[in-house]
Amino acid sequence: MYAPTSTNSPRSGPTSGDDDGLIDFDGAGEILRAWGNGLRPDPDLTVSEWADRHRLLSGRASAEPGRYRTVRTPYMREIMDRLSPGDPTQRIVFMKAAQVGATEAGNNWIGFAIHQAPGPMLAVQPTVELAKRNSRQRIDPLIDESPELRERVKPARSRDAGNTMLSKEFAGGILIMTGANSAVGLRSTPARYIFLDEVDAYPASADEEGDPVTLAEARSLTFAHRRKVLLVSTPTIRGLSRIEREYEASDQRRFFVPCPQCGHAQWLKFDRLRWQKGRPETAEYHCEGCDAAIAEHHKTAMLEGGEWRATATAADPTTVGYHLSALYSPIGWLSWERIVRSWEAAQGSDEAIKAFRNTILGETWVETGEAPDWQRLYDRRERWKSGTVPAGGLFLTAGADVQKDRIEVDVWAWGRGLESWLVDHVVIEGGPDRHDAWSELTALLDRSWPHERRAHLRIARLAIDTGYEAPAVYSWSRAQGFAQVSPVKGVEGFNRSSPVSGPTFVDATEGGKRLRRGARLWTVAVSTFKAETYRFLRLARPTEEEMADGAAFPPGSVHLPHWVENEWLKQFVAEQLVTVRTKRGFARLEWQKLRERNEALDCRVYARAAAWIAGADRWPDEKWRDLEDQLGAAPTDTDPAGQINRPGQAPQGKRRSDWLGRREGWF
């Protein structure tokens, strides 16, 4: 039998009751409890169970502060639990509407990883600035309000690099936050966990190094089957939406809920939501099985009895995909009545309907991109005095397209709501190698066009394409000054939040000498403005009788003068948006020419970009009123909606300031 060689050895435990004195001292109980807790394994929790036990919502970051309850959003339980280490799923795709609780579920996963399954984690927002904002508004409260996380993450100190705005260290891991626009941030470290939020807002390329999603996911490949990747987003445009592409490659799960009348399980569709016209408060859902009306107060029980069901077979068995609309939003969040009100308010506006489909239904918007027939545009030409700016035009921009043997320029007038009029079409013979061509273009900047209200307007800003002979364009633009001239570079793709970005400084050459940062280049998402132009061309116009009764053209209307020729009209509608398949089988949208020449459409896009750079998309009503006052185009009696009366009434507006048009030299 084994016996200790020394009863005095510190490694020997008590062997009889006679040795109880070894633990008879102050604090011995605490030591034993700590020792026992160290031997006890961590509870085998899923992400949702961890959230219910440990997550506290802060009043700074949540509309419902207090303890997190998964039962409030039952549809999030399975999505969160797929992120648990014990689940074999590696990639979770969530295409969703706004206000369904996805952000908090993602934060639960971050908290769970810090507390229960530490490892390196990468959280990616669309931009670095948004990543910083998310860190302040979401991650800091997540840590501060949960004691289990607060004791694991190093406190933020000026001399401690373990807790910074974009980096949170904890025992066994680190959380790195970055933007999809930063290639350095995306390839900074290997990551077992990757949280990709709002992927449809990511740029097409991160610092021109490739697709941000691909770059981020490459960080997790060394973790093999232990990795977890969560892709979350509200969708955008069909054929361009990253989240839709990922969802369609998954098993496409829908949340089926039971009818309280007949028990039929179904996933909620907007076309089953019905109401009395003009009375959104009467909105009820009609069951697919029995067609019975379901009042919204049944939704809580329906959600509790719901379950996710796959509706397709995934290309990758380790990937699952989920789709959810705001029709599932819990009681007290977004009601069916508010959804109906949003739908009714969106009628008549493609942009509003697109936002409704994206943010409420969680579905993509289909850009038709259909080119209107040029003959229809020919028949819709309008007659106003040649070379004159109509009364509704408040400032001018121009778009210049540089060709090998000529420079084509279109001058457009812009009014409220981006209503526009083609004022002039100029062809300057000779390409960029002809000095006189640039002199004529310079003279065009000093030219003025008479306004119907007797003023004279100059070009507020000219955007010139740099696609052909960029050095010559940079040199001329620099000589004119960047206050009136903007070199632009067109790129494919849609970007509705900021279709024009920049300026960025590029090197220029002048007299054989290289000038560093010699030109300011703007980047234009041409697909956005082409789609907008075609959408504006399809707007319904008031009849002569309606106009006689005071009806106005809808915002965005495009007015073409009687002098415009057939060739110009054919160029104006020379492209069409089509869906093409990549080598990997994914769909994407692409503008393709229907005719060889498309200068008129290009010039329109550049002139539209010039209006954006000038700030027209962001001007408050006061700026528009100032322009109207300076032109004498604003009567004092506007209707409650701010609709300016049409020409024919005497101008009576009081001039308030000249800080906008006259200060910039537009008049």
Residues 223-269: tens digit of each pLDDT: 988 999 999 999 988 877 899 989 999 999 999 999 999 999 999 99
CA–CA gap between residue 306 and residue 284 (Å, rounded): 19
Q: If we measure between CA atoms, which residue out of 130, 581, 579, 129 comes closest to residue 364?
A: 579
Cis omega (within 30 of 0) for bond into 120: no
CA–CA gap between residue 578 and residue 597 (Å, rounded): 18
Q: What is the pLDDT of residues 96-109, one digit of tens each?
A: 998 888 989 999 99
Architecture, CATH, for domain 382-565+597-631: 2-Layer Sandwich (3.30)
SS3 of 265, please? Answer: strand
Q: If we measure between CA atoms, which residue out of 656, 619, 620 comes closest to residue 636?
A: 656
pLDDT of 658 strictly over 70: no
The pLDDT-based confidence of 516 (bands split at 50, 70, 90) is low
Q: Which residue has the higher pLDDT, 151 or 82?
A: 82
- Pairing of the two strands 456-465 and 485-491: parallel
Query: Which range, of 63-77, 190-204, 517-531, 582-596, averages the lowest pLDDT?
Result: 582-596
Neighbours of 636 (CB within 10 A): 9
pLDDT of 580 strictly over 80: no
Q: What is the pLDDT of residues 595-625, one digit of tens each?
A: 888 999 999 999 999 999 999 999 999 999 9
The pLDDT-based confidence of 468 (bands split at 50, 70, 90) is confident
Q: Most confidently modeled of 16-25, 154-163, 537-546, 609-618?
A: 609-618
Residue with tokens 């098993």: 251
Tokens linked to 82: 């797929």
Q: If we measure between CA atoms, which residue out of 558, 566, 527 comes closest to residue 540?
A: 558
How far is residue 145 from each of residues 66, 112, 133, 141, 173, measured CA to CA in Å? 9, 14, 18, 6, 20
Q: If we measure between CA atoms, which residue out of 538, 537, 506, 546 comes closest to residue 522?
A: 506
Query: Which range, of 366-370, 449-453, 539-543, averages the lowest pLDDT?
Result: 366-370
pLDDT of the residue at 514: 62
Provide CATH 3.30.420 ranges for the chain.
382-565+597-631
pLDDT of the residue at 224: 87
pLDDT of 548 strictly over 90: no
CB-CB contact of 355 with 97 (8 Å): no
- What distance separates the 2 farthest-apart alpha carbons in the chain? 117
Superfamily per CATH, domain 47-255+313-330:
P-loop containing nucleotide triphosphate hydrolases (3.40.50.300)
How far is residue 117 from each of residues 114, 120, 202, 227, 503, measured CA to CA in Å? 6, 10, 28, 12, 44
Q: What is the pLDDT of residues 283-324, one digit of tens each?
A: 999 999 999 999 999 999 999 999 999 999 998 999 999 999
pTM attached to this predicted model: 0.65
Single-letter amino acid code for the residue at 608: R
CA–CA gap between residue 521 and residue 474 (Å, rounded): 9
Alpha helices by DSSP H, 260-349? 299-304, 336-346
pLDDT of the residue at 4: 43
CB-CB contact of 356 with 321 (8 Å): no
Q: What is the pLDDT of residues 116-155, one digit of tens each?
A: 999 999 999 999 999 999 999 999 999 988 888 988 887 7
pLDDT of 277 strictly over 70: yes
DSSP code per residue over 501-518: EEEEEEEEEETTEEEEEE
With a pLDDT cut of 90, the percent of the chain lying above it is 50
pLDDT of 637 strictly over 70: no
Name the strand (E) or helix (H) holding 231: strand 228-233
Query: Which range, of 69-83, 224-238, 577-591, averages the lowest pLDDT?
Result: 577-591
pLDDT of 17 strictly over 60: no
CA–CA gap between residue 397 and residue 412 (Å, rounded): 6
The torsion defined by the Cα of 138, 58, 109 and 126, in degrees rounded to 10, comes to -20
Mean pLDDT along residues 625-629: 89
Provide CATH 3.40.50.300 ranges for the chain.
47-255+313-330
